[in-house]
Amino acid sequence: MPHKTFFQFMAPSLFAMFLFILLPIVSIVVQSLYIEHPAVIRVTETCQPLAPCTTETTVDAAATAALREAQPLGQFNGLGTYLDRNHLAFAEVAEVFREASGPRDVMTGLYNLPLYRALAFTFTYTFLVTPLAMILGFVIALAVNTVPRLLKGPVIFMSLVPMVITPLVGALILYWMLNTDGILGAALQSLTGDPDLSMRASPALTWVFLILYGTWTNAPFSFIVFYAGLQAVPKDTVEAAMIDGASRVERIRHVVLPSIKPLILFVLLVQLMDNFRVFEPIISFNAGASATSLSYLIYSSLNTQTTQLFGSAAATSVITIGFIAVLIVPVLLRVARELSVAR
């Protein structure tokens, strides 16, 4: 296809992506270098006869608003936002390491810093939910491949629902069940005999339930893809392995898994992308106090009662994109190479 025709066909798509994906990336980089104007403070001195002069400081609301109106971006702050306590906080991190008397202290110290707190949950969630959901999905696929045909239709139907359900809604219906006045939360209390065991009281339990939700909603994707992959495993190879006396487990390890390896890579990539952006379940579980993610941090900078903290949100966004570049790009390039070899 000649260049001109190609770009004529691509133009609307490229235009949309340029305007609403590429420019916003530039925009967050710029925004992250600025910070909101502080409120304009006016100091007035009142002197009355026979009394010492008093000074009074007031916030000049009108002047503050005018200043913010004139320079909506705020004032230039350089890398200040990146380095402050709410972001990379290098000074605080150095202090934690200086004062800490052991690895436990370091962990607690870091966990008190918002960005590191969010990183802790985001990474835990991504690197637990991804393998758990993939393993569960694979086991379901193997099981469905074994059962009578009658069950397959309903299983595929019911598996698609937790996957395509609105994330906020899916998390919410689980939260209502897992809460102390929900069926599962109450059952857990009576099983353990601990009437105080609740998500509100125990951050650890909140983490566990969020990871359970993640596995529940992500496993179906692995299941569907792997199930389709199982149908394409060459029968001859399986048969040959069987004649050679390979057991069921050996056949899965040495024949089935290698033949669906491209699918495993593909699912891994998609799952890493999706889990790293974990956001809605934290809103649904009302879990901001015990579990935050990078996306949640950005959201809470933007969703404030008073002034929106654009600089802060932008800095967190840039840091997030940096992590994605480091984490996901290697997997992404690997998949891309496989794709270009396959075609």
Partner 1 sequence: MAVPLEPRAFRRPPWLIWVASGFVLLWLFVAAFPFAWTVWGSFKIQADFFSRETWWNAIFGVNTLRVTGSAFTTDGYYGAWVATGFWRSALNTAIVALFVTTVSLTVGTLGGYALARSTYRYRFVILIAALFFRAMPDITIVSGYLLPFFQLNLWGHLPTAIIVLVALNQPFTLWMMYSFFQGIPRDLDESALVDGCTRFQAFRLAIVPVMWPGVITTGLFSFLLAYNDFTVTGLVLSERNQTMVPKIASYLGSIQNEGNVMFAVAAVVSIMIPIFLLVMFFQRYLVSGLTAGAVKG
- What residues between 107 and 146 interact with partner 1 by CB under 8 A? 139-140, 142-144, 146
Unique residue bearing structure tokens 């934690």? 96
230 binds partner 1 (CB under 8 A): no
CA angle 218, 224, 227 (to 5 degrees): 130
DSSP assignment letter at 84: S
Q: Among the candidate windows 89-97, 112-120, 203-211, 282-290, which touches partner 1 by CB under 8 A?
A: 282-290
Does residue 148 belong to the site contacting partner 1 (CB under 8 A)? yes
Structure-token match 């997997």, residue found: 331
Q: 45 - beta bridge partners?
A: 55
The Cα–Cα gap between 266 and 261 comes to 9
Within residues 239-258, the interface with partner 1 by CB under 8 A covers 239, 242, 248
Q: What is the C-alpha separation between 285 and 12, in angstroms, rounded?
A: 39
**Residues between 185 and 224 with contacts to partner 1, criterion CB under 8 A:** 186-187, 216, 220-221, 224
Shortest Å distance, C-beta 313 to partner 1: 4
Q: Which single residue is written with the structure tokens 């901001």?
A: 288
Among 120, 128, 160, 257, binds partner 1 (CB under 8 A): 160
Contacts of 54 (CB under 8 A, 6+ apart): 45, 46, 47
DSSP designation for 154: H
Closer to partner 1 by CB, 101 or 146: give it: 146
Binding segment (CB under 8 A) for partner 1, from list 75-83, 85-93, 105-113, 225-233: 225-233
How many angstroms separate the CA atoms of 312 and 86, rounded?
8
CB atoms inside a 10 Å sphere around CB 95: 12
Nearest residue to 320 via CA among 86, 119, 108, 138: 119
* Closest separation in Å from C-beta 30 to partner 1: 9
The least distance separating partner 1 from the CB of residue 306, rounded to whole angstroms, comes to 15
Distance CA 343, CA 30 (A): 40
Which residues within the stretch 295-334 sit at the binding site for partner 1 (CB under 8 A)?
295, 298-299, 301-303, 308, 310, 313-314, 316-317, 320-321, 324-325, 328-329, 332-333
Among 279, 287, 290, 292, binds partner 1 (CB under 8 A): 279
State which residue, 9 or 97, has the beta carbon closest to partner 1.
9
Environment class of 23 (CB within 10 Å of its CB; exposed 0-12, middle 13-18, buried 19+): exposed
Stretch that binds partner 1, among 25-33, 52-60, 89-97, 200-208 (CB under 8 A): 25-33
What the block records as the tokens of 270 is 């998609």
Work out whether 14 is an interface residue with partner 1 (CB under 8 A). Answer: yes
340 counts as binding partner 1 under rule CB under 8 A: yes
**Contact window for partner 1 (CB under 8 A) among 56-64, 191-199, 202-210, 335-343:** 335-343
Find the shortest distance in angstroms from Cβ 148 to partner 1: 7
* Helix segments in 74-202, DSSP class H: 80-83, 90-99, 103-111, 114-146, 152-164, 167-178, 183-192
154 binds partner 1 (CB under 8 A): yes
Minimal distance, residue 194 CB to partner 1, in Å:
16
Residue 96 or 224 with smaller CB distance to partner 1: 224
Closer to partner 1 by Cβ: residue 45 or 181: 181
Residue 173 is a binding residue for partner 1 (CB under 8 A) = yes
CB-based contact 89:82 (threshold 8 Å) = no
SS3 for 241? Answer: helix
Q: Distance (Å, rounded) from C-alpha 309 to C-alpha 306?
A: 9
Q: Is 61 in the site for partner 1 (CB under 8 A)?
A: no
Among 40-48, 83-91, 103-111, 276-284, the segment contacting partner 1 (CB under 8 A): 276-284
- Report if residue 91 touches partner 1, rule: CB under 8 A: no
